[in-house]
Chains A and B, each alone.
Chain A
Amino acid sequence: MEKFTVHTGRAVPLRRSNVDTDQIIPAVYLKRVARTGFEDGLFSAWRTNEPDFVLNQSRFDGASILVAGPDFGTGSSREHAVWALVDYGFKAVISPRFGDIFRGNSLKAGLLTVLLDEKVVQRLWDDIEDDPSTEVTVDLVERNVRWSGEVHGFELDDYTRWRLLEGLDDIGLTLRHTDEIAAYEAQRKAWFPSTTASAVNSPT
């Protein structure tokens, strides 16, 4: 995973609430087996059907921070939603509230999801709509978001922050505890189910 420390870029206002992951990337794009190249699926229904959709407005071309309404990323667990945002060029998403699974996925994949108060988000929306060239800084070191003289702190637990700052692989971190995993396994109940035991029909 790439390290995330401080990112400065332009931002795009997505004035919608309840943007579920089916909207971020429709199911038809999930049939692929590769991990990259999902940018064409990002918000594809809205980009196709709504000429005025923010990502169709050239004044927001090249923006790397998405600013969304509350409950962004609800619904399906598809990590493809995170990959589509990253592949499209987004480094961070700001919202007053995220779907839990989407948030977890984003922080595993190095896309920083930032919680800001709804009123602050609305002010940021107004400012970037007034001037799309506004430079917005998302600072993980200081845990704040800055633009045009505004500074707003955000919360992120120390552990996740450290992992992102260092760009650490979660699996590698857990494998440090292999002995504890083995010790746990040794005391699991003998009758806990196994997927390979008994009553399996042979494939047709």
Chain B
Amino acid sequence: MGKTLAEKLWDNHVVHSAPGEPDVLYIDLHLVHEVTSPQAFEGLRLAGRPVRRPDLTLATEDHNTPTDYTLPLAGVSSIKDEVSRTQIETLRKNCADFGVQLYPMGNAEQGIVHVIGPQLGITQPGLTIVCGDSHTSTHGAFGALAFGIGTSQVEHVLATQTLPMDRPKTMAVTVSGDLPDGVTPKDVILAVIAQTGTGGGQGYMVEYRGSTFEQMSMEGRMTVCNMTIEWGARAGLIAPDETTFAYLAGRSHAPSGAQWDEAVAYWTSLRTDDDAEFDAEITLDASTLAPFVTWGTNPGQGAPLSESVPDPEAFDDPSDRVAAEKALTYMGLTAGTPLRDITVDTVFVGSCTNGRIEDLRAVAKVIEGRRVADGVRMLVVPGSMRVRAQAEQEGLDAIFTAAGAEWRQAGCSMCLGMNPDQLAPGERSASTSNRNFEGRQGKGGRTHLVSPLVAAATAVTGHLASPADL
């Protein structure tokens, strides 16, 4: 019997295998940020251990960084929060002490860790990639095996460049057909999560297959793989193809010349064998999908925009019912309210899910010549400084600011409440990010996860809307 892509990548990276023990996997790329690394570096110091492969390790600053500073920066003084500043300074010291390449705030290569790996061309097919960040699954879009890990594991990878892991099962998510107008990769993954629930992928490495994903851009594939963790799966990946190779060609860390040809030949071999079997399979028909939004406090609590806030009584499973009741209370919503009638205070465009150039172009196309509704604050935050520069080159920033939106520096921003970009208690957002957990965007804040298109239309109307409503 043949092997799935995930199994091939796994087998290619086994350094040590013994019955009754986890496999020891080699890690080709370790991405690091300021939040989940300080205790790991401290562990190395206490044990007197070096970083085994600084040349396979890359750090950036993204979670704590403010996005409203102006360049050039004078050190870290633009970070007003002393604790945040200390964490950034700690990362700088750790990278200097251990010889790790760092792209600090203000640097042309700085950005959200999952945006900069691909744009540098360091994220490549066939690699194992880890980061102390659950959205590391993003890199699976290139046909890499990419896992989010905890700080103990960050220390383990720094010390050994390996990770002991039990091999997860495999699952195929097959979506076929053309996406209807106005339906984006974000809607595809929100629909998958709503169908499976937040635990549906637990214990699996998921391969997204079918013509819908084959037709998707790399940006779209990254959005899908990014949110794999939101339905509990360990990793999500898509087989590399011409779209992948075209994205990588010419990037600064991608191979070139004869090595490029060798790389493409290798990457082309990274496919699930025809006779391979998955442990589980899910199938969706793209033509049935619609713009999707969340109404609750986990990413599985979502519905098509055309529907209404569900009645908790309609849930068969008692724990789903209780969860829905709690969610509606927290969100300040009443069952039966059409989702389109929900008004928002804030629209956030950005994050490792939807902070790439294609996302910004989509938003700009909708918002051009229109105005952000009165009483609505719209933040547009590029995922990296390169995305920012590209957007400015294309004049997108002028479109955003003319519409009344705020155009920011790169960072995680309002995806999570670690930097100054936060919702106030009771404020409601339409957000292109990945998590609508209680308090995720600021204490007491209420989040509706949406696609970039829905975010843009919502900013214009002041209530949840799609471009077709304009």
Contacts and interface: CB of A to CB of B under 8 A. Distances in A.
Interface of A: 15-18, 20, 22-23, 26-28, 30-35, 45, 69-71, 74-80, 82, 97, 99-101, 104-105, 108-109, 118, 157-159, 170-171, 173-175, 177-178, 180-181, 184-185, 188-201, 203-204
Nearest to A173: B164
Given A23-B437, A33-B86, A201 B259 contact: no
A159 to B, nearest CB: 5
A199 B435 contact: no
Interface string B39-66: 1001000010100101111100001100
B54 A196 contact: yes
B26 A184 contact: yes
A76 to B, nearest CB: 5
B468 interface: no
Contacts of B164: 170, 173-174
Given A45-B439, A69-B319, A97-B199, A31 B81 contact: yes
B160 A171 contact: yes
Nearest to A15: B322
A105 B24 contact: no
A33 B71 contact: no
22 contacts: A18-B198, A45-B438, A77-B134, A77-B149, A78-B35, A97-B202, A100-B202, A100-B234, A104-B153, A105-B153, A118-B319, A157-B166, A171-B160, A174-B24, A177-B16, A181-B15, A181-B161, A185-B26, A193-B29, A195-B58, A200-B101, A201-B109
A191 B229 CA distance: 30
Contacts of B90: 33
A129 to B, nearest CB: 16
B470 interface: no
Given A28-B417, A171-B155, A175-B160, A184 B20 contact: no
Interface stretch (B120-128, B182-190, B287-295, B400-408): B120-128
B73 interface: yes
B365 interface: no
Given A104-B153, A184-B26, A196-B54, 11 more contacts: A18-B298, A27-B63, A171-B47, A171-B156, A174-B24, A177-B15, A185-B26, A191-B255, A193-B29, A193-B124, A197-B55
A122 to B, nearest CB: 10
Given A27-B416, A77-B149, A177 B24 contact: yes
Contact of A31 (B42, B83, B203, B232): B83
Contacts of B49: 171
B143 interface: no
A178 B56 CA distance: 17
Contact of B323 (A17, A108, A173, A178): A17
Interface residues of B, number: 95
B411 interface: no
B262 to A, nearest CB: 6
Contact of B199 (A34, A71, A193, A198): A71
Given A18-B323, A97-B199, A101-B149, A197 B298 contact: no
Interface in B137-187: 148-153, 155-156, 159-162, 164, 166
Contacts of B108: 201, 204
A100 B71 CA distance: 41
A181 B42 contact: no
B440 interface: yes
B132 A77 contact: yes
A70 B108 CA distance: 44
A22 to B, nearest CB: 4
Contacts of A177: 15-16, 24, 162
Nearest 4 CB-CB pairings of A with B: A199-B252, A105-B150, A79-B150, A33-B38
* Chain A binding surface SS class: loop
A109 B134 contact: no
B284 interface: no
Given A22-B435, A33-B87, A170-B152, A204 B72 contact: yes
Contacts of A105: 150-153
Contact of B438 (A22, A74, A76, A189): A22
Contact of B298 (A20, A173, A190, A193): A20
B108 to A, nearest CB: 5
B326 interface: yes
A193 B260 CA distance: 12
A99 to B, nearest CB: 7
B153 A194 contact: no
A170 B158 CA distance: 13
A199 B109 CA distance: 10
B107 A203 contact: yes
B80 interface: no
Interface in B79-123: 81, 83-84, 86-87, 90, 100-104, 106-109, 120-122
Contact of A30 (B21, B35, B58, B120): B35
B104 A195 contact: no
A31 B148 CA distance: 19
